[in-house]
Each structure stands twice: as structure tokens, then as C-alpha cells.
Amino acid sequence: MAFDYSAASPILKEVYLPALQELLNNATPLLASMEKEITPVEGGNFVISIHRTRNNAAAIGRSEGSTLPTAGQQGYVRAIVPVKQLYSRINVSGKAIAATRSNKGAFLRALEAEMKYVMTDTKRGLNRQLNGDGTGALAYWTGADNTSPATVDDNLGNGTTQLGVGSITCDLIDASDNSTKLGDSIAVTRGAVSTATTSVSWTGSVSGTADGDYLVLEDSLGNEMTGIQGVISDANPPLLTSGLHGLAVATYDDWKAIVIGDDSAKVDLSFPLLQQLVSRIVSESAIDESDLKMFHCHPAMRDTYVKLCQDERVFYNVMKLDGGWEAVTYNGKPIVADTQCRRNAIFAIAPSSLSLMQMAPLDFMDKDGSVFYRISGGDVDAYGATAFVYQELGCKARNQNGLLKGLNEVWQ
């Protein structure tokens, strides 16, 4: 019998390629843009003073000898921005550290790799929050389904969700009140992704579900930043019944962004619609068109814009942005594609009206003299580290930003 490959397998060496291969999308375009507008703050909540109303006793005509108009006054309000505390943690065993102490034994040194990648993952999480509405929703139930598996979407009929690969411990929140847990600390695993839905399975108990209920990271509801979906809107953010920064739309009807379109009645993207959004913002706020620095959307909408240009035989430039991202342009302004942005919409953003109000920048805790600490006070052979950041997205003038929503996409 020949000494074949199967017989030789016990003595064959395995050859490993020198570099670790990356499957994850780690791009954070919105975070990179917002990091240019950081406001360091101290004390309690962040306070923004807003000039809201004019003196209406201005340029009033009167006949000769008549009584002069009653004096008026300027009107101001204060927006209160509460700080959010956001944390990331690692835990590495002593044996894993020893086994990966050099290139001879491993592709990566465990402790260094965990510290490096947790910072990457933290920035990705911050970018997700900045694209969100403050709920931290990762995916939405598509109907009443209390039995694993179920199908979820982005609440707009797309299979795109914020769920990652692997098991994630989540709470399932009742969308009718944005507070009741229909599933507490369930272990959710993402399955097959299609155009319209994504399959999920879970372990744990779920009950009373309905269309629109949503998954959040365990115990995170109400503790994440309120992103552009909550800020660039004509309504109060879902979790803030008293309004964004304490200013409810019902009372301050001008404290809202310019919104055009309806998610329940989608239309095709057009140049007149884009220009209408820009013109509405300029005509109803204190900025001019030069202050609108960027449009922000999902890659599906960026591709829709490119197709519109091709169909209309309109030339567009490609702009190189900080961080290495490339963006197509409209009227010289970049249309930035972000995979964590909501679908079927384009945001028009004036960065000067927004700011990351930061009490403590992203860093590892080291106030006791060391970044690392022994797990369980030294009773366990493992070491941990915690990264933190105290910040919130603050808005100085909502009406300087706009949203064009309810748009058809070429991906659909």
C-alpha cells in the first residue's frame, strides 16, 4: 500500500500566514466627524443657552401723535444636556498572557490585542450610538413571535441591523412604552441575513412580543447617547418625553429639525428634493448653505444617489475625507456613507450646530496607578482593564440640520 497523503498527515506541519485577517467593518465616519466638534466641560449637566424669539415690537408703523407700541423683548431658553457614562472591559487569564508572550507562540499578544481591539470596538459602538435615536436599538421584531427563532429588521423593512456575529446578551423592549422588558438578559445569536429580514435565535424567556419591539444591549436602555436620529428629527427622542435637552416640541415648536418625507410612503430620490431640504434649512435657520458641511447616509442611499447622477447624466466629484474615506459630492459637499446609519434617508448636517460634550475623553481607568487590575482581588489568575468616556451629543440649534426620509433605494 502506498504511503499517501492521509498516511503522511500525522507528520505534516501546518503553515500559518503571517498576518491576522480582518472580517469586521471598523469604519466610524460619523464619530470621526463629531470628534472635530468636542466641547470639554466640567461640573454637572451641560447647559446650552439658546436665543429663541425676537422682539416683536420692531419696525411697527404708527400715525403721527398716536401711542407708541408696547415694548417687547428677546426670548431665551436653556437646553440641559445630561452626561452619559460609557464603559468597555477586558478580562485575560494569566495563562493566555504567558502563551501569547511572543510571535513564536501566537499571532497576537493577548493582553495587547484585547486592549487594542476593545478601543476599536468602543469607537464602533460610539459611532452606532451617534447614528441612533437614544434607545440603543440593535434590531426590531417583525411581528408577534415568542418562540426562537424569529425574524427582525431595522423597523423600515430592511434586513440591515446592528447585531454583530456571535451571542449577544440583550433585553427585548416593548415599543409601546419604551420601558417594559419582554425578554430579560436573553442570549441572542444572529442568523441568516436577507434583503428584508434577519433571522435571530435566543436562549431565555420572551413573551408578549409585537411588531416594532426592539433589542438593546443588556441593561443599557436609557444609558446610551442620543444620536442624530433623535436630534435631527421633528419629534422628541423616543426615551425623552420632556424633549431633547429638556425642550419638548409641543411647547417649543421651533425646537426641531427640518424633516421632509414619510417612511410609510416612499418616493424616489431626486435633485429637487435634495435642494428643497437645503433651501428649507437655510430659510428657517440662522445659517447659510456654506455651513452645511456634509450629507450623511447608509451606503445603499449613497449608491442610490450615484445611480440618480448616472440616470440624469450629472457629473459628480469624489472627495477624499479625513480618515481615508471617499465620498461622492452634491453641490461640492460630501455624501458620507456609514454602514451604521439608518436606511432610506439622507441627513444634512451643520457640524457647528452639534458638539460632543465631553466630561472625560476615552481612556483606560488608571487613577490607582495602573491600567490593569487583578480579577477578584487576586483570587483568580486573570487581569482586567476598563475603558471609559463621559460624554453626550449636544445640539445647539436643531433647525440647522435636516432629514430627507422615506426614500426608495437601489438595494431594494
Q: How many domains does the chain have?
A: 2
- Contacts of residue 147, Cβ cutoff 8 Å, sequence gap at least 6: none
What is the model's pLDDT at position 105?
63
Q: Which residues contact 91 (CB under 8 A, 6 or more apart)?
A: 375, 382, 383, 384
Residues 177 and 258 occupy one common structural domain:
no
245 SS3 class = coil
Lowest mean pLDDT among 242-246, 278-282, 327-331, 375-379: 375-379
Question: Which position has the grid cell 425623552?
Answer: 240
Of 172, 197, 221, which one is at a domain's C-terminal end? 221
- Same domain? 88 vs 190: no
pLDDT, residue 107, reads 61
Res. 303 pLDDT band, cuts 50 70 90: very high
* Residue-level pLDDT at 393: 96
Shared-domain flag, residues 163 and 232: no
- b/e for 322-335, b at 16 or more Cβ within 10 A? eeebebbbbeebbb
Residue 351's nearest CA partner among 54, 29, 110 is 29
Percentage of the chain surpassing pLDDT 90? 68
Q: What average pLDDT does this structure show over 5-26?
A: 71
Distance of CA 264 to the CA centre of its chain: 22
Give the pTM.
0.92
pLDDT of 5 reads 75
- Whether residue 299 is found in the same domain as residue 243: yes
Its domain, for residue 100, covers: 33-53+78-131+225-412
Confidence of residue 15 (pLDDT cuts 50, 70, 90): low
| Within-domain flag for 46 | yes
Q: Would you say residue 366 lies in a domain?
A: yes
Residue identified by cell 411697527 is 60
Q: What is the pLDDT of residues 206-221, one digit of tens each?
A: 999 999 999 999 999 9
Instruction: Examine the domain organization and report whether 362 and 260 are in the same domain.
Output: yes
Q: Are residues 249 and 276 in the same domain?
A: yes
Closest by alpha carbon to 202, among 235, 237, 241, 169?
169
pLDDT number for residue 305: 97
For residue 374, tell me if it sits in a domain.
yes
**pLDDT for 78-94, tens place per residue?**
888 989 999 999 999 88
Residue 369, domain member (yes or no): yes
Of 197, 221, 245, the residue that ends a domain is 221
User: What is residue 2's predicted lDDT score, i.e. its pLDDT?
Assistant: 75
Q: Quick check: 337 and 299 in contact, CB under 8 A?
A: yes
Contact between 233 and 256 under an 8 Å Cβ cutoff? The reply is yes
CATH code of the domain covering residue 104? 3.90.1690
209, 236: one domain = no
pLDDT in tens, 240-276: 999 999 999 999 999 999 999 999 999 999 999 999 9
